Amino acid sequence: MRIYIGADHNGFDLKQDLVAMLNKAGYQAVDEGDAQLNPDDDFPQFAAKTVQALQADTDPDVKAILICGSGQGMCMAANRFRGIRASLVWDLPEARMSRNDDDSNVLCLPARVLKQNDAEAIVMAWLNTPFAGAPRFKRRIQQMDNL
């Protein structure tokens, strides 16, 4: 499974760690930047680049991860794109619920809040939780798509 991952300067170090962890776990992590730590970069450019790569991918199981200081900015930027269901996640229950109930396809992480091992556990829980596909969940996703 391909996972596109992008981060601003606040999420740069965590992104580097997660790319290595994902590749080691057998995923194909595609780093959408930034390529080097730049304290003056802005999160919207990485959210857009990462989400556009996700949208262009034909694999139905493709996912993306976005990281900034709070996770909020990345989540707001990602959710401006049609078909994107970005979830801000800070713990394991939220990771599971965002996939199980909402079929989240973009995970947004708060780098200032999470330790590396917690972020890794969240990513793995998010990736390994299937969408339940309950009729009410599908109906709600369809309603969001029609907004």
Catalytic residue numbers read 68
d(CA 74, CA 68): 6
- Count Cα neighbours of 43 within 13 Å in the Cβ-side half-sphere: 22
Cα pseudo-dihedral 63, 141, 56, 67, rounded to 10: -40
Single-letter amino acid code for the residue at 39: P
d(CA 47, CA 74): 6
Question: What would the two tokens of residue 73 be?
Answer: 């900015």
